Chains A and B, each alone.
Chain A
């Protein structure tokens, strides 16, 4: 009896293990379990560095009634009413949503429509429109001047040649200046970012989606 026990033969087991290993390596079932993300669809325009608005140049040209003209081409002829600016025929698309700043002539010069008004007779051209904003938004303008508000492009050296600082009107519509909402670019599609909050992961999380699809046997 004792002898028999000594002779228990485990080699078939080892062979079985080896064969199992072989099949495992050949079948390679782990390969497809890695949840690869598809490549996110982001076009060149999505990450363009162009400002969100194009501004007017000096003199300001607009495309109205089929022609390109500057403001004075018309306003030389049409005299403005003295009191309430009226807009029955032109510029009807312009809706002011600028807080209590609700008068066209707070900003546009009455006598010379190709210029913006600062104070009294003092006016600035359209390519210096930040001076206009400065008269009411002093602190923001000061920040902008120091490169703290708004965006500078080119170099991190403060006064390097070729730096461009975006103007206020390249980000804010002067008539309705609140910054617009936009559609966000695709969310990350990876598990390899050291999840900060798996516990709070939303349904959008690829981890959640992967777990869900796995339990449904869809994978």
Chain B
């Protein structure tokens, strides 16, 4: 009896120590698991306004004014410059369409980088909306493409180049899968994202057959000198960690009547952008006179992004003047 009593008190002391050790090491583990919180800067959690903000479509004029002012303040705090941020609405009687002439494109990637400069993407890690695929002549098999080509000069012999970006599909899978309608199509045919509403589930990224969506896995690496102050709510305002983004036909430019950055920088004039509802626009004429096709027609996404070849294809070997070696890799 005494034995067992002794045992009992021993055990209770021991079990007390034991559970104490358990609890304190558990607390320690819990505390260190919260370590990332130490890295938070005062402004990181955003303010309460952005937290309780409504979905873009449910915001009133004054709500939007308020949101724009908040974003402008945020940007100023983060990048020490006052952005010119607006909320441009779709224009009446306008539906944007892109057309790309594959017999002109030489794969120089100027569009890729002009896009990055225009749209405030993260520079490191790199986020780019346009991907230029290099493909051997005579195939349209994307599995055979390479977007990491690094050559002394382009175009390489017997290859052609196919830039791919968001196709602004009429029947957009990304819009359908979004569980919270953070991405939707507007009247001018552009699929937009409310970055404040996106929860980062990346369903849309998985659903897109053109790999057009990009996810901010980390806090975007954008520095003050790279910020483009001409911003629009649904397009190129700075994003944050954990949201999806993609090409939006440069809404901050196109809804103000200008051309997308990728179009204006293209040195070959392969890129064409315009309003299909206007029968005199270049894109309408291309759709009428050229043999256009869309990528992955079989998935029935009805893209607003068309590719075409001119009659002369394949191109004659380009001038050998700047191409001692074709940079064959």
CB of A5 closer than 8 Å to a CB of B: no
Chain A contacts for B143, CB-based, 8 A: 196-197, 199-200
Contacts of A28 in B (CB 8 A): 35
Residues A196 and B211 in contact, CB atoms below 8 Å apart: yes
Question: Can you list, as one digit per residue, whether each of B264-282 has a CB less than 8 Å from chain A (1) or not (0)?
Answer: 1111110011110010111
Interface residues on A, range: 35 or more
Please give the distance in Å from B78's CB to the nearest CB on chain A.
Answer: 18
**A-B pairs with CB below 8 Å: how many?**
224
A residues less than 8 Å from B329 (CB atoms): 202, 204
Contact assessment for B285 and A188 in the assembled complex, using a CB-CB cutoff below 8 Å = no
Q: Are A18 and B259 in contact (CB under 8 A)?
A: no
CA distance A38 to B125 in the complex (A): 7
Which listed segment binds A: B82-90, B192-200, B231-239, B319-327? Answer: B319-327
Main secondary structure of the interface of A (DSSP, over half): loop
Write out the residue numbers on chain B whose beta carbons fall within 8 Å of the beta carbon of A193.
128, 131, 147, 211, 214
How many B residues are at the interface, by size bracket? 35 or more
Q: Which of B44-52, B61-69, B148-156 contacts A (4 or more CB under 8 A)?
A: B148-156
Residue of chain A at shortest CB distance from B147? A188
Q: List residues of chain A with CB within 8 A of the CB of B148.
A: 187-188, 201-202, 204-206
Known: A42-B113, A52-B267. Contact between A176 and B319, CB under 8 A? yes
Stretch from A68-76, A121-129, A153-161 contacting the other chain: A153-161
The answer to whether A146 and B285 have CB atoms under 8 Å apart is yes
Produce 1/0 per residue, A180-219, CB < 8 A to B.
1111111111101110110111101110000000000000
Closest-by-CB residue of A relative to B155 is A181
Residue of B nearest to A149 (CB): B269
Task: Give the contacting residue for B319; candidates A21, A97, A187; CB below 8 A.
Answer: A97
Q: Would A187 and B280 count as touching, CB distance under 8 A?
A: no
Of all chain B residues, the one with the shortest Cβ separation from A25 is: B32
- The answer for the CA separation of A205 and B114 in the assembled complex, in Å, is 22
Q: Which chain A residues lie closer than 8 Å to B42 at the CB level?
A: none
A sample of 6 inter-chain contacts (CB < 8 A) reads A22-B32, A156-B258, A182-B106, A194-B205, A196-B147, A196-B211
